[in-house]
Amino acid sequence: MSKVDTNATASRTLSAARNRVGAVDAASTRGNRSRARRQAQWVAWGFIAPLVVYLVLFYAFPLYKNIDLSVRHYTVRSFIDGTAPFVGFQNFTEIFTSSTFWPAMVNTGIFVFVSIAFQFAIGLALAVFFFKHFRLSGLLRALFLVPWLLPLLVSASTWSWMLNSDSGIVNAFLEAFGIGQINWLTSPHWSLVAVLIANIWIGIPFNLVIMYSGLQSISADVYEAASIDGANGFQRFWRITFPLLRPVTAITLLLGFVYTLKVFDIIWIMTRGGPATSSTTLAIWSYQLGVGSLLPDFSSAATVGNVLIVIALIFGLAYARVQRRLAA
């Protein structure tokens, strides 16, 4: 997405530069004009060059490499002598028919949608709550940012200690209410729930911050007018706040989607995608294939990575479409 945006900005800069120079042109002689024009071209290229170099180096080339990897049989040996036979879609067939594929797809789906639903709902609720500006609200709001500021390694490790079956504080707490031991991280039924809880907790501040700034852009006049018309709290939220937040909501959900789709560290630290495949998402699977065992399988890992990119792209394009319709 951002690539498209920056490209558009670049071409705008280019034409603006051209226009500016065009205005100077009119006053000059013919010879000067062509020189000035050429100079303008250079200037324009100069402006666009860093961006193009950056895009090619850090986006286009790795993407090309990833696609290239996924259609070859790339082994440790190919790493040394550079020969990797072209196998077409064989890697894709293998990935799609693997017994891990559907569990990973389903887990990714559940992980992304449940995470975003809770992160967004709780984030929005907190944003509306803090928008009231009560005493200490600034301090409390700042405290809510802590999960976001902590290194993921720290928060994920802390969660895995708290959720430990035998010595975790969560089970100790539940026991006080007569609930027996839950194997949060080591039961195939609970591991996905455990990583979801941690991920929701980590994602709330992001939603809170964006929705809060979204709320600030809504004019107080609207609320004032609504209260004169006799709107109650629920109506004010449902008929003013929520609709006016729609553009912010759309971008928050899209960013949340992309972030959550590629979540790796939290799951890897807490469960390593296990037990079995019960918390394996596509991102985890890709890592397991690539560097998770003694013998790296780069091609399969790249293939799973490409599947992830395609999914992200589908949702990105859908977002762009919706945005365009809203703008029209």
272 makes contact with another protein (CB under 8 A): yes
Among 187, 226, 244, 251, binds another protein (CB under 8 A): 187
Interface with another protein, residue 164, by CB under 8 A: yes
Say if residues 17 and 40 touch (Cβ distance below 8 Å). yes
Output 38 or 239, the one with its CB closest to another protein: 38
Q: How far is CA 321 from CA 214, 314, 326, in A?
A: 22, 11, 9
Tokens of 267: 């799951």
Per-residue x/- track, 166-185, another protein (CB under 8 A)? xx-------------x-x-x
Task: Determine phi and psi for 254, rounding to 5 degrees.
Answer: -65, -45
Cα–Cα distances in Å, from 67 out to 61, 120, 172, 256, 309?
A: 10, 33, 48, 25, 10
CB of 148 to another protein, least distance (A): 26
Tokens of 7: 């490209």
- Choose which of 67, 275, 309, 323 interacts with another protein (CB under 8 A): 275
Q: What is the largest CA-CA distance in the chain?
A: 92
C-beta separation of 286 from 305 below 8 A: yes
Out of 5, 99, 149, 325, the residue judged to bind another protein by CB under 8 A: 99
Query: Are the C-beta atoms of residues 312 and 258 closer than 8 Å to each other?
Result: yes
77 near another protein, rule: CB under 8 A:
yes
Question: Residues 126 to 155: which contact another protein by CB under 8 A?
Answer: none
Check binding of 85 to another protein (CB under 8 A).
no
Q: Which residues bind another protein (CB under 8 A)?
A: 34, 37-38, 41-42, 45, 49, 52-53, 56-57, 61, 73, 76-77, 79-81, 94, 99, 164-167, 181, 183, 185-188, 271-276, 278, 292-295
